[in-house]
Amino acid sequence: MKKHNQLNILISGANDGIGYYMVESFLKQGHNVFVLDVKIDNLQHLSKIYDENKLMYVQCDVSQENQVEESIEHAISTFKKIDYMIHNACLCTFASFNDTQIETFKKVFDVNYYGAVHLIRHILPLFEKQNKGDIFVTSSGVGIMGFKNISPYSSSKGALESLVKCLNLEYKHTNISFHIIHPPLTRTASSKGLTVPNEFMAKPEVVGYGLSKRIHRRKWIITFTRRNRFTVFLMYLLPISMGKLLSSMTDKYAKRQ
């Protein structure tokens, strides 16, 4: 694998799941990482292996702009320069549209979409000063294709897709770029409510490690393998057909259970 200079990376939602393994892999690659998450227990274990100058973490709810602002100020005063900002935190709920209260839509958007807006707003002044920086937001295939019984999550990811497109156009003539991370279906707390066979789900450590290596290519779309890149390409090309296919596959599986 190509060696990269030591980078300073800020990431939200990495106490668990895919994000946690991205952090572990970044640390093994020699980078410095600053994590924002509501819980920090798993990171405390990780910090026993890596010294406090390499792994830093703060409790921060990304839906609260004041907490994000304070955490980013802390990260900037620690690292001085930041190379990547990754919004990975998410909230995913499982229920039909009819059974979903408006408050749930707001809560999900507050974390997934407005969390990204808060992080981007407060990291951009530094990136503009540095005249350099990469911003990554973790999306999902369901944000392109849709899926049953997760409309708040799915539409918040769709909104993120649009946000990144807008910002890439606005920042076209700068050295600041915006990217979308597309993990595959992965066995984590957030995907527990999906009626998808376990064998169709990747392991979070495989996905986290894969993404943390391929992220350095700084492509528009980041996937964990080349094969997964092809699947994501099909989702963008044929969103409606792919959405119908995935839904009918999961319906068939649910009936067999």
Which lies closer to ligand NAP via its Cβ, residue 124 or residue 196? 196
Which residues, 6+ apart, have CB-to-CB distance to 244 below 8 Å?
A: none
Task: State the alpha helices, DSSP H only, in 200-238.
Answer: 204-214, 226-237
66 binds ligand NAP (CB under 6 A): no
Regarding 154 and contact with ligand NAP (CB under 6 A), the answer is no
- Given the complex with ligand NAP, which of 39 and 165 has the nearer CB atom? 39
187-226 binders of ligand NAP (CB under 6 A)? 188-191, 204
Whether residue 84 contacts residue 134, with contact meaning beta carbons closer than 8 Å, is answered with yes
What is the rounded CA–CA span in Å between residue 97 and residue 49?
44
Q: Note whether 185 binds ligand NAP by CB under 6 A.
A: yes
State yes or no: residue 152 binds ligand NAP (CB under 6 A).
Answer: no
Residue with smaller CB distance to ligand NAP, 7 or 40: 40
- Find the DSSP H helices in 100-150: 102-112, 114-130, 142-145
Q: Would you say 3 and 213 are in contact if contact means Cβ atoms under 8 Å apart?
A: no
Q: Name which position in 13, 146, 152, 243 contacts ligand NAP (CB under 6 A).
A: 13
Our CA angle for 111, 114, 118, nearest 5°, is: 110
Nearest to ligand NAP of 31, 157 (CB atom)? 157
Burial of 193: CB neighbours in 10 Å, binned 0-12, 13-18, 19+: middle
> 9, 17, 134, 147: which one contacts ligand NAP (CB under 6 A)?
17
**Residue number, 115 or 133, with CB nearest to ligand NAP:** 115
Query: Which residues of this protein are in contact with ligand NAP, per CB under 6 A?
Result: 12-13, 15-19, 36-39, 61-63, 88-91, 111, 138, 140, 183, 185-186, 188-191, 204
